[in-house]
């Protein structure tokens, strides 16, 4: 009796926690509108989406790794590397763009794949392994760039991504939403998607059921690397500047967005849509702080408070075991 009631409560809690972030996003938006008229303007909303794009794109890739029950702390480093590498290969020529983008994506996927190999073939935690590889990749980026901003963005590259379709939504924001839609569909409809959830829920059961755990893990890390590379290109497209530490700290912003979106550290639960919503909550909160005239320090405090409160709320709703 009691067990059944608990179970019932838990499933309600789970359903609630799955959509909680969307409710939070809606509530935050209403609060923002109440505090400032700017949030009613479509152009400003487009701006927020564009701002969120680099972190958002990287975060949706890493969500796969998190659903597996692992973490990837190297994405900030890969974002930085991708931005510098891509800018250097472009060298200010429009003709070089396809090559530069292609090569950047190949290299960042390869970096993710190396992470995958490390995690598969080593039994220590993915946290410390990807932390180490992040250091190595930052070092590589610094060696490659000589420690300064290097490389010149091709003409037309920034203009293309910042162009507003219908004068409202920037291409970059649309790219984030499209990538998220593709990945969400893949997670829901493909066998690989189901295998990722299964491994995250119970790795031993998955292994006994014949799921190729090592191969799936490897693929997830490669995808995480690929999306970090895309995030790096997005940074370049947004700002046009490629410095060594472009992506520093992005891994934690992405982590925060993912957890806000309802993915739990123990794995097995989480959605791409949730991650996108989590990213938007984070960036809308930053914008709100800015528009109210508070400084960057308060943004940091607010970010921390949001992260702590959100994960506490999820734990309460039965989102965590």
Rounded distance between C-alpha atoms, residue 204 and residue 56, angstroms: 31
Helix (H) or strand (E) holding 256: helix 250-260
Beta carbon nearer to other proteins, 150 or 164: 150
DSSP 153: P
Q: Does 53 bind other proteins (CB under 8 A)?
A: no
- Region of 10-18, 98-106, 142-150, 156-164 interacting with other proteins (CB under 8 A): 142-150
Helix (H) or strand (E) holding 164: strand 164-165
Are 77 and 137 in contact by the 8 Å Cβ rule? The answer is yes
Give the contact letters, 54-93, x = binds to other proteins (CB under 8 A), - = no: --------------xxxx----------------------
* Number of residues lying near other proteins (CB under 8 A): 65
Beta carbon nearer to other proteins, 128 or 209: 128
Q: Which 186-205 residues touch other proteins, going by CB under 8 A?
A: 199, 202-204
Query: Please, how many CA atoms are within 13 Å of residue 239, restricted to the half-sphere of its CB?
Result: 19
Q: Does 215 bind other proteins (CB under 8 A)?
A: no
Q: Does 291 bind other proteins (CB under 8 A)?
A: no
How far apart are CB 118 and other proteins at their closest, in Å? 7
Rounded distance between C-alpha atoms, residue 187 and residue 24, angstroms: 24
How far apart are CB 117 and other proteins at their closest, in Å? 10
Rounded distance between C-alpha atoms, residue 96 and residue 100, angstroms: 6
DSSP 319: S
Are 187 and 200 in contact by the 8 Å Cβ rule? The answer is no
Rounded distance between C-alpha atoms, residue 170 and residue 46, angstroms: 6
Residue 191, classed as helix, strand or coil, is helix
Beta carbon nearer to other proteins, 181 or 214: 214
Beta carbon nearer to other proteins, 179 or 306: 306
Per CB under 8 A, the list member of 158, 163, 164, 303 interacting with other proteins is 303
Q: Which among 78, 74, 102, 80 has a CA at the least distance from the CA of 90?
A: 102
How far apart are CB 270 and other proteins at their closest, in Å? 13
Q: Does 285 bind other proteins (CB under 8 A)?
A: no
How far apart are CB 122 and other proteins at their closest, in Å? 5
Rounded distance between C-alpha atoms, residue 107 and residue 85, angstroms: 9
Residues forming contacts to other proteins in the complex (CB under 8 A) are 68-71, 118-120, 122-129, 131-140, 142-143, 146-147, 199, 202-204, 207, 213-214, 217, 252, 255-256, 259, 264-267, 295-308, 311-312, 315-316, 320-321
């Amino acid at each position: 009796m009691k067990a059944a009631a608990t179970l019932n409560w838990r499933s309600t809690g789970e359903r609630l926690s799955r959509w909680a972030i969307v409710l939070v996003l809606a509530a935050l938006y209403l609060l923002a509108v109440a505090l400032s008229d700017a949030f009613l303007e479509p152009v400003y909303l487009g701006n927020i989406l564009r701002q969120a794009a680099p972190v958002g794109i990287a975060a949706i890739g890493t969500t796969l790794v998190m659903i597996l029950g692992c973490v990837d702390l190297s994405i900030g480093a890969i974002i930085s590397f991708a931005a510098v590498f891509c800018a250097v290969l472009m060298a200010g020529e429009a003709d070089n763009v396809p090559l530069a983008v292609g090569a950047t994506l190949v290299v960042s996927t390869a970096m993710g794949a190396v992470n995958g190999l490390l995690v598969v073939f080593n039994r220590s935690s993915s946290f410390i392994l990807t932390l180490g590889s992040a250091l190595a990749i930052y070092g590589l980026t610094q060696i490659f760039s000589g420690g300064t901003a290097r490389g010149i963005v091709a003409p037309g590259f920034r203009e293309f991504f910042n162009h507003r379709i219908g004068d409202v939504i920037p291409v970059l924001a649309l790219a984030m939403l499209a990538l998220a839609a593709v990945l969400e569909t893949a997670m829901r409809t493909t066998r690989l998607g189901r295998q990722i959830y299964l491994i995250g829920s119970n790795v031993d059961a998955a292994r006994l059921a014949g799921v190729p755990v090592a191969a799936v893990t490897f693929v997830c890390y490669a995808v995480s690397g690929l999306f970090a590379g895309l995030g790096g290109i997005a940074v370049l497209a947004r700002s046009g500047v490629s410095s060594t530490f472009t992506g520093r700290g992005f891994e934690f912003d992405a982590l925060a967005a993912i957890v806000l979106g309802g993915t739990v550290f123990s794995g097995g639960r989480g959605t791409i849509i949730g991650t996108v919503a989590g990213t938007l909550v984070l960036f809308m909160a930053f914008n709100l702080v800015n528009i109210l005239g508070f400084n960057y320090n308060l943004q940091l405090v607010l970010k921390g408070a949001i992260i702590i409160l959100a994960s506490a709320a999820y734990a309460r709703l039965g989102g965590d075991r």
